[in-house]
Amino acid sequence: MITKNVFQFLKELKTNNDRTWFNANKQWYQEARIEFEEFITQLIEQIAVFDPPILRLEAKKCIFRIYKDIRFSKDKKPYKINFGAHLIDTHDRPHNRAGYYVHVEPGSCFLAGGAYMPPASWLNAIRESIDAHGEQLVKILESPDFKRYFDGIGGEQLKTKPRDYPTDHPYIDLLRFKNYTVVHGVSDNKVISKNFLSYAVDVFKTLKPFDDFLNKSLIISN
């Protein structure tokens, strides 16, 4: 269970985002991170019930580092102000795949999945799958269960159309996306509630057909 302690640490870090404060509060950071890691461990076990390969994952390897790469950033604050984890099965495929993402940040918590900034080869494969089987993706996006948690695909789109596809393509609006991600926002109170684990599992179970469609495009293209 994620508690108020995690949120309090992240709030203080946002206000005191410097190495002096962080080093003085390293123990607090470790406690908060362990708490988040324990939650991710439980989440992996629960997701594996409907997505067995996920059980191969180790929670600590799924969690993003809190240290920022500031070499090419205008924002020189050294630490991220969130805890994030991406549960993705890469056992037999080293490249990106759609998975399950957890983001805990005071006032901006969410659960998400899909293909974020996919490399050109994968993006092209997704578009080819939509071209051939767009009705399958529409069925997923329009299902009542899916719409209960997600408002549809979000993110940047091409202003015109992808190369090699006509402007009157029946799924042109879906083909224009540069990212294929869906996001479900959750309140801070929901995250610290006793039923957040089961809630997150329900959201990700609903998400799985969307991820499966995106990942199937990789298999077809190889």
- Taking the C-alpha atoms of residue 214 and residue 180, their distance in angstroms, rounded to an integer, is 8
Decide the pairing of beta strands 83-87 and 99-104: antiparallel
Burial class (CB within 10 angstroms; exposed 0-12, middle 13-18, buried 19+) of 150: buried
User: pLDDT (tens digit, 9 = 90+) per residue, 27-80?
Assistant: 999 999 999 999 999 999 999 999 999 999 999 999 999 998 877 777 789 999
Q: What pLDDT score does 94 carry?
A: 44
Q: What pLDDT score does 209 carry?
A: 98
User: Whole-prediction pTM value?
Assistant: 0.93
Structurally, how many domains does the chain consist of?
1
The 10 Å Cβ neighbour count of residue 49 is 11
Chunk the chain into consecutive blocks of 10 residues (it has 222) and report each block's average pLDDT, rounded to whole numbers: 97 97 98 98 98 94 91 85 92 68 98 94 95 97 97 92 92 96 98 98 98 87 50
Q: What residues make up the domain containing 115?
A: 4-221
Q: What pLDDT score does 220 carry?
A: 57
Buried b / exposed e over 54-77, threshold 16 CB at 10 Å, is: beebebeebbeebeeeeeeeeeee
State the chain's mean pLDDT as an integer.
93
Facing residues of 99 across strands?
114
Cα 28 to Cα 10, 51, 79, 184: the distances in Å are 10, 34, 14, 29
- Taking the C-alpha atoms of residue 87 and residue 60, their distance in angstroms, rounded to an integer, is 11
Enumerate the H helices of the chain as residue ranges: 4-15, 19-24, 26-47, 59-62, 120-142, 144-149, 172-175, 188-191, 196-221
| Residue 105 DSSP label | -
Q: What pLDDT score does 93 carry?
A: 47
Question: For residue 25, how far is the Cα from the chain centroid?
Answer: 28
Facing residues of 157 across strands?
177
